Amino acid sequence: MDSLHRLEEIFTHFPGIGPRQARRFVYYLLGKSPASIAEFIKLIEEVRKATSECPECHRLFVNSSKQIICSVCADPSRDPNTLMIVARDSDFESIEKSGVYKGLYFILGGTVPILDKEPEKRIRLRTLLERVQKDCEPNSKKPLKEIILSLNTTPDGEHTANIVKDALSKIIGKDERLYSIKVTILGRGLSTGAELEYADSETIKNALSNRK
């Protein structure tokens, strides 16, 4: 495969981008001056270097002052007893933008397609279970009271919510320190097939207050 087609193929792996759009991206870039291409490449490298994955919530954040954890996890005004589980950084962004949620987050890193047999390769399930157990250790500053599953109401999102809920129920049932954790699912203020990333603030607010 020549380099033009290799670049085109890379763009087809971008979320929501099909082969036709990928080809348009390639020709758009080819129409740019060498200087603006160089600037584009430099910017991608800079963003990559400036970004860290938060070891607590696993979201990517621009780490300008070399903090260890992200500003949300480090914020003492956030409610440490509530943990919201979302699939991707973009879902985190829409919920934060709505301003209606004041607890902490955990980013799963994706969803599990319905017929997939190895969910652990798709999402941070093991890491999540470890975090929940760690948060409930004696002397923990953030004993969890509620875990809110906020996944898209698409088939993959609902399948993923079930996998996570089952895994959480297993550890909650085995360890008495975890007995009091309530696991809730974002209410159906979100219509079937809805994607959190595109939900407006009012919808997110309703879905959050209708969780069960």
Output 104 or 136, the one with its CB closest to Zn ion: 104
Q: Does 95 interact with Zn ion (rule: CB under 5 A)?
A: no
Output 68 or 114, the one with its CB closest to Zn ion: 68
Output 8 or 56, the one with its CB closest to Zn ion: 56
Q: Does 70 interact with Zn ion (rule: CB under 5 A)?
A: yes
CA distance 202 to 170: 34
Please report, as residue ranges, which positions from 161 to 190 form the binding site for Zn ion (by CB under 5 A): none
CA nearest to 162, candidates 119, 198, 130: 119
Output 105 or 112, the one with its CB closest to Zn ion: 105
β-pairing, 60-62 vs 51-53, is antiparallel
Q: Does 73 interact with Zn ion (rule: CB under 5 A)?
A: yes
Number of residues counted as binding Zn ion (CB under 5 A):
5
Q: Does 54 interact with Zn ion (rule: CB under 5 A)?
A: yes
Q: Count CA atoms closer than 13 A to 180's CA, side-chain side.
A: 8
The residue within the footprint of Zn ion, chosen from 8, 56, 91, 135 (CB under 5 A), is: 56
On the 0-12 / 13-18 / 19+ scale of CB atoms within 10 A, 12 is: middle
- At residue 168, φ and ψ (nearest 5 deg) are -65, -45
Query: Considering the complex, what minimum distance in angstroms separates the CB of residue 168 from Zn ion?
Result: 20
β-pairing, 103-107 vs 60-62, is unpaired
Q: Does 104 interact with Zn ion (rule: CB under 5 A)?
A: no
Query: Considering the complex, what minimum distance in angstroms separates the CB of residue 90 from Zn ion?
Result: 15
Provide CB contacts within 8 A for 185, sequence distance 6+: 148, 149, 161, 165, 211, 212
Output 57 or 194, the one with its CB closest to Zn ion: 57
CA nearest to 150, candidates 85, 58, 65: 85
Query: Considering the complex, what minimum distance in angstroms separates the CB of residue 181 from Zn ion?
Result: 20
Output 73 or 167, the one with its CB closest to Zn ion: 73
Q: Which residues bind Zn ion (CB under 5 A)?
A: 54, 56-57, 70, 73
